[in-house]
Amino acid sequence: MKPKVYITRKLPSEVVYEIEQHCDINMWEEEDVPVPQEVLEENIKDIDGLYCLLTETIDDSLLQKATKLKVISNMAVGFNNIDVEAATKRGIAVLNTPGVLTETTADLTFALLMATARRLFEAEFFLRDGNWKTWSPMLLTGQDIHGATIGIVGLGRIGEAVARRAKGFGMKILYHNRSRKPDVERELDVEYVEFDDLLRKSDYVVLLTPYTHETKNLISSRELALMKKTSILINTSRGGIVNEAALYDSLQSGVIWGAGLDVFEEEPVSLDHPLLQLPQVVALPHIGSASIQTRLKMARLATDNLVQLLKGKKPEYIVNPNFSENITESVKE
């Protein structure tokens, strides 16, 4: 008998086909609407595997209903939507999709930095609204990117890929990370600095750290006050890392110059959110990894992860600490 799997969003047919070769599937058929929690609660009861997205909250109370769940395969590198501790306690593997989205997310991060610095969207609306009357010396002037200092908070895979792009633009690169990375420092000419120093010295502060209890509201009034008046904050990680009320106040009162945000505390962000009322904010709908090629790679990797685990094999990426040793045991049960 094939293992039973629930898929929480309509996936491309080639991906569904691949999962069907190994599993009996049931899928939420909507493309643009997340599965309602009560539907998920019903479906999780007797499945072996769950294929989900970052839009699903997989918490302890949901997992209590899962009687035979062995694996949660998240089609994302971030897994803050899943209570990993609760899953681990129940012997459920949590799998994610790092690696395949690194370069695409770094591309978007850099594009967002450039769009914010050079006011690209404001300029576009200015033209389309018929406001372009003449060339004028200080019209729509922004901040220079070349030669500026970028401070990367979280030098993981994506942080390194952003550093490579910054190097190409002749930027000075600072970073702060839980651990120092001497090899990367040598290879990319990046300098490790304490967190407050990074905030003080950078023209661009780029957040690429995972969202955890420690990084919740990492950027709030104190941190923003340390930043330069001309600086720009870029967040392509998770919205909760920034205290949005503090960011609004700082932008409004000129404590910092601008912000490029691909992520928000509540997603989708409400259209009357104060940050969306500010012209110096460039706001995107969480599209860091959104290229056709990369989203397909993520979907396939999440599939491989799921299938491998259900076959009792060790998938490439397991989120639960020290979980791998127990896999075959937990799958056999």
CA distances from 263 to 118, 184, 185, 285, 327 (A): 20, 27, 28, 7, 34
Distance CA 154, CA 167 (A): 17
H helix or E strand, kind and range, residue 252: helix 244-252
Query: With respect to ligand DGY, which residue has the nearer C-beta, 47 or 76?
Result: 76
| 58, 82 Cβ separation under 8 angstroms | yes
The residues, any chain, with a CB within 8 Å of residue 130's CB and separated by 6 or more, are: none
Question: For the chain, what is the largest distance between any 2 Cα atoms, rounded to a whole number of angstroms?
Answer: 73
* Least spacing, CB of residue 102 vs ligand DGY, in Å: 10
A 10 A CB-CB count for 57 gives 15
Nearer to ligand DGY, 151 or 288 (CB): 288
Sign for the CA dihedral angle at 287, 289, 293, 299 comes to negative
Whichever of 76 and 190 has its CB closer to ligand DGY, that residue is 76
Select 149 or 320, whichever has its Cβ closest to ligand DGY. 320
Is the CB of residue 93 less than 8 Å from the CB of residue 322? no
State the nearest-atom distance from the C-beta of 77 to ligand DGY, in Å. Answer: 4
Using CB atoms, what's the residue nearest to ligand DGY? Answer: 78
Contact 117, 142 (CB under 8 A): yes
CB closer to ligand DGY out of 77 and 331: 77
Decide whether 78 or 274 has the Cβ nearer to ligand DGY: 78
Tell the smallest beta-carbon distance from residue 100 to ligand DGY (Å): 9
Q: How far is the CB of 126 from ligand DGY (least distance, A)?
A: 31
- Minimum Å gap between C-beta 125 and ligand DGY is 27
The least distance separating ligand DGY from the CB of residue 298, rounded to whole angstroms, comes to 7
Cβ atoms of residues 274 and 250 within 8 Å: no
**How far apart (Å, rounded) are the C-alpha atoms in residues 326 and 4?**
21
- CB 78, min distance to ligand DGY, A: 3
Give contact residues for ligand DGY (rule: CB under 6 A).
Answer: 54, 76-78, 101, 288-289
**Residue closer to ligand DGY (CB basis): 142 or 288:** 288
Buried b (16+ CB within 10 A) or exposed e, 62-72: bbeebeebbbb
Rounded CA separation 236/284 (Å): 9
What is residue 62's three-state secondary structure?
helix
Q: Which residues are marked as active site?
A: 238, 267, 286
Nearest alpha carbon to residue 97 among 114, 74, 81? 74
Instruction: Report the alpha-carbon angle 28-321-207, nearest 5.
Output: 75
